[in-house]
Amino acid sequence: MAKSPSIQPAEKCSIPTTAESEVIDRDDSPHSEAQQNLWNQIGIQKICRVPQSGLPDALSCLWEPQSGFSSRSLATRFIEYARTNHIDLSLCWTCERTDNSLHPTCLVVPNPGKTALLFASGLTKKREFEALSALLQHVNHNTPSSKIRVLQILLTRPERHCQPAILAAGFSHLSDLSYLERRIRPTDRTTGDSIPVDLTLETYQPGGSNDEDFRIALEASYANTLDCPGLWGLRSIDEIMDGHRSTGTFDANLWTLARFRGEPAGVLILTVFADQDRMELTYLGVGDQFRGYGIGKHLVHHAIRAAAEAPSICKMTLAVDDQNAPALALYKKAGFARTDRRTALICVVDEDGKKSATLPKGEADA
């Protein structure tokens, strides 16, 4: 699962009319007359792609002012960070409202492996719910399916009031995620029981002798999983591998293949991040026929030992589906504790890039 930064979106941002020509790209794909009529009813003149020159104003919707920084300055800092780290910010849309403000705004950040993380400004009223649904429907329609197969939104607990609007725009609930953390100590170099004779752990060799078996074990681990089962079958194994390689700093020495009685049975993927003191347990999966033999437990212990051996690593983090009770129990027993919860919603982009949905109905929030 992709992780999102901590963004506290504002309800809207007002942009002077004189800035509209710089912010709005009026050459976005066309929409139907019926859709335009609906937009007019809810106070939207246009939904448009934002050019690079308009990003500071449009993206300022995503941040609340904090610690002496304005929303616009926070957006500018994020844009500079994105450019330095080669993050694509070209897929940004905003609503031009009848009062000449620009809100809500939506940013789609593509990742390798044909996934993308979507950020949207926060909303609290019925009129804003309808605008958010209209915006997300438009984004779904214009998302390039050649680059993106799965759109994902991660909602913090305060943001979950937006969920009905997002679901109405064609998204579905994937999971409620628990974010867990464990401190790493030097004594963890010897944590866990000895590995049984039936189980062997091998370092992944890209393009080498166990490359194909690693792919087999990874793909098999999605079958009948309790951890985000809605992802099964949405992407090819090559796309899944590309997605994992792009997370943090790729190091094949932190990827492990588990064999049970010689057969590829499970995988472990660990990730480190530049200038950070944490190691992430990005993925752990065991094939359906190999579950119940304690392979997951040994992979978790292997991960903790690897973190203890790594320089400057003080903690290990991970995310797990709240419905995956066996995994939650395993991580708790291994010393992990919950630090956060988020709700994951996804939308599968059709081959033609279109997705239909209805706007939410309900009473306006006070």
Q: Are strands 150-155 and 115-120 parallel, antiparallel or unpaired?
A: parallel
Token readout for 1 is 């699962």
| Per-residue pLDDT, 186 | 94
Report the pLDDT averaged over residues 159-163.
83
Picking from 342, 341, 320, 314, the residue whose alpha carbon sits closest to that of residue 332 is 320
User: Do 340 and 181 meet the contact criterion of CB atoms below 8 Å apart?
Assistant: no
**pLDDT per position as a tens digit, 293-329:** 999 999 999 999 999 999 899 999 999 999 999 999 9
Cα–Cα distance, 176 to 155 (Å, whole number):
9
* Residue 117 CB partners (closer than 8 Å, separation 6+): 2, 4, 108, 109, 111, 152, 153, 154
Cα–Cα distance, 50 to 103 (Å, whole number):
12
Report the mean per-residue pLDDT for the chain. 85
Position 176: which residue type? D
Q: Kindly list the strands in the beta sheet with 263-272, ordered across the sheet, starting from the edge strand earlier in the chain.
A: 44-49, 91-97, 102-111, 115-120, 150-155, 337-348, 172-183, 315-321, 278-286, 263-272, 255-260, 199-203
CATH code given to domain 17-176? 3.40.630.30
CB-side exposure of 152: number of CA atoms within 13 Å? 24
State yes or no: cis peptide before 104, omega within 30 of 0.
Answer: yes
Position 356: which residue type? S
Maximum average pLDDT range among 17-31, 67-81, 251-265: 251-265
Cα–Cα distance, 295 to 196 (Å, whole number):
10
User: Structure pTM?
Assistant: 0.84
Picking from 116, 76, 67, the residue whose alpha carbon sits closest to that of residue 234 is 116
What are the DSSP calls for 152-191, one per residue?
EEEE-GGGGGGHHHHHHTT-EEEEEEEEEEEE--GGGGG-
Residue found by looking up tokens 């590995």 in the block: 195
Tell me the domain boundaries of the chain. 17-176, 185-313
**pLDDT per position as a tens digit, 50-96:** 998 999 988 988 887 887 889 899 999 999 999 988 889 999 999 98
Q: Which CATH superfamily is domain 185-313 in?
A: Gcn5-related N-acetyltransferase (GNAT) (3.40.630.30)
| Per-residue pLDDT, 180 | 98
Residue 16 has pLDDT above 60, yes or no: no
Contacts from 22-25 at CB under 8 Å and sequence distance 24+? 22/53, 22/54, 22/57, 23/50, 23/51, 23/53, 23/54, 23/57, 23/58, 23/94, 23/102, 24/48, 24/50, 24/54, 24/94, 24/96, 24/102, 25/49, 25/50, 25/51, 25/54
In DSSP terms, 183 is beta-bridged to: 315
What three-state secondary structure class fits 56? helix
* Residue 71 CB partners (closer than 8 Å, separation 6+): 10, 13, 60, 61, 62, 63, 64, 65
**pLDDT per position as a tens digit, 197-250:** 999 999 999 999 999 999 999 999 999 999 999 999 999 999 999 999 999 899
How far, in Å, are 79, 123, 214 from residue 10 at the CA level?
Answer: 18, 8, 44
Residue 356 has pLDDT above 70, yes or no: no
Picking from 68, 330, 308, the residue whose alpha carbon sits closest to that of residue 318 is 330
In DSSP terms, 97 is beta-bridged to: 44
